[in-house]
Structure 1
């Protein structure tokens, strides 16, 4: 059975915010507030130690450990690097000739770890391919679900295999799924056809593309390393939004034999056994949920320029696990859902529950 990760406690979050705020504020004060004496030459090393080691360690032990994907740590280190570049004056940074290579060294270590896990996946590729090919006719209709089952049949699930599966899913849907169509022999219901989600993501892609072209050349004159980092992040964002568009189109809600499978783009999914459904009600609640209710609610709705309320509220007999991109997960007690054909959906769902 897969290990369940504990939710983030309020106490740990308060400790994390308090300690990181003290570190950031004290370091910023040293460089930007006149305190009557010059900054010691070695202070820059202490600041880099705080931003690139201490804060990532606090993030790991108080936030990430046994809870989120280890890959989050690379974003924390990158954020620390950017904050250091903004906070520390240039005359102090020049005393650290290796500063511009720090982010590449850190990412290089992480890439080596990914390559190690990648080597394990490649070594098991014949077995993974056999299971994936067999599942094409007898398994789940969605490509990423078949891939996940094939990988986990041959390799023990861990955070790095989940990262790889998420990355393969992202690049498959963004680059290699444009000629594919939805093919399923069970009742299916779309979530997007009566929304503006496709136009919303196209608008975001258009804005990022324009910003990337102009901002990259503008920033390159001031900090080439930062400009290339932002360029890579922007390209990745465009790939992500393309994947979202395709996954939303190709992965409708499914009413399978024993359970309902809800996939919202590539971001989140949940499998709901029919016997786990306690009740289904027309939603009459507020547009914005209180935070404590939102934490235990799976929102089965696509983003929209004018977000409407869900149509139905499904209460569960017991909490179920919802899975998110890169191995994130949470327990939910209810589902808020909005489909394009609500009458046909509720009729088909009630029939499945009574069978």
Structure 2
């Protein structure tokens, strides 16, 4: 007697990807363990191509598109495949993987070349955005509109580097006739970020020594990723410190570092004090999470608004939870303007 376990249609793409990925990995393992692998220089390149191109492509077509996952999951899949490639390939045949160290520079160079080729469109988009925004956001918006995804990545990386390197001396990004409300002074955010960065550096040094004993190339990649994480923490800390919430005569500009940003007419938003995070919902965004704090202000918009996130992400929300150092002062200022 046999028992059949029906497979729901929703699981079929995931199981198909898992089967194909396992078949590819098993095939690559069989190839890399045979003597013929060392006799043909093209085989390591083929293995790297299968693991870093074919498997992520299958993941995108069968999983990401089918289940509506964010594109960032493809990056996670590429990272997992990269670790798998280091594990499968012998140390003497990892030259194709070492060449990948130049990939980020090549991608950014390609984006810059594309920007140069579309300089006229860039200037028009920048000039149109400059009527409402400062030069930095205007340039970023123009790059995103003209270059698409490469422009989004280029702007995100440039913004991160700007805050990480220049944030130590940069002034607070305020505007005339706007009241600024910070969200980092009373929560201990800076101390938490400093602690996280310090612990990451210690962990990086320890991991480099341990992993480097068996796999120097993998240790270098881990060190690079860890240092990039520290750089991101520094940039995030400066961005939160330099980009307070701004309440102007006509608009409310919400900025949570460079993680979330939105500008709305101040008459189209109502603020209320809260003591805990709102219940998770599709139209609710808890922006206080990136501050490692519990929200104390809940903004409710008259209509759904699009909140811009990192690397071109967007969230359409009706409610936005924030942490502010002076929540009552902000609520009073917003309510006072509404009554006036």
TM-score after normalising by structure 2: 0.76
SS class of match (1:156) = helix
Q: Which residue pairs with 1:200 in the alignment?
A: 192
CA deviation vs aligned residue, 1:95-115 (integer Å, no higher than 9, x gap): x964x2344556656654432
Inter-partner Cα distance in structure 2 for 1:54 and 1:131: 38
Pair 1:214-2:206 in alignment: yes
Q: Which residue pairs with 2:3 in the alignment?
A: none
Check the 8 A contact 2:253/2:264 in 1, yes or no.
yes
- The one of 313, 318, 327 equivalent to 1:328 is 313
The Cα of 1:232 is off from its aligned counterpart by: 1.0
SS class of match (1:221) = helix
Cα gap change, 1:147 to 1:12, in 2 (>3 Å): farther
Inter-partner Cα distance in structure 2 for 1:39 and 1:243: 41
Q: Which residue pairs with 1:178 in the alignment?
A: 168
The Cα of 1:311 is off from its aligned counterpart by: 2.2
Check the 8 A contact 1:267/1:325 in 2, yes or no.
yes
Check the 8 A contact 2:164/2:232 in 1, yes or no.
yes
- Runs of 5+ in structure 1 lacking a partner? 1-10
Check the 8 A contact 2:296/2:322 in 1, yes or no.
yes
Inter-partner Cα distance in structure 1 for 2:22 and 2:187: 44
Inter-partner Cα distance in structure 2 for 1:342 and 1:253: 11
Inter-partner Cα distance in structure 2 for 1:150 and 1:28: 42
TM-score after normalising by structure 1: 0.73
Q: Which residue pairs with 1:296 in the alignment?
A: 283
The Cα of 1:175 is off from its aligned counterpart by: 0.5
Greater displacement, 222-231 / 16-25: 16-25
The Cα of 1:299 is off from its aligned counterpart by: 1.9
Check the 8 A contact 1:282/1:311 in 2, yes or no.
yes
Cα gap change, 1:23 to 1:327, in 2 (>3 Å): same
What is the RMSD of the two structures over their aligned residues, measured on CA atoms? Answer: 4.1
The total of aligned residue pairs comes to: 320
The Cα of 1:190 is off from its aligned counterpart by: 0.6
Check the 8 A contact 2:272/2:331 in 1, yes or no.
no
Check the 8 A contact 1:262/1:300 in 2, yes or no.
no
CA deviation vs aligned residue, 1:120-163 (integer Å, no higher than 9, x gap): 335639x76x969x96xx8646x7424424546xx625111111
Kindly indicate whether structure 1 or structure 2 has the higher relative contact order, using CA contacts under 8 Å at least 6 residues apart.
Answer: 1
Instruction: Please list, as runs of the form range in 1=range in 2, the aligned pairs for 1:64-143 lying within 5 A after superposition.
Output: 73=74, 75-86=76-87, 88=88, 93-94=89-90, 98=93, 100-105=94-99, 111-122=105-116, 124=119, 140=133
CA deviation vs aligned residue, 1:11-33 (integer Å, no higher than 9, x gap): 9995664344445566778999x
- Runs of 5+ in structure 2 lacking a partner? 1-7, 38-42
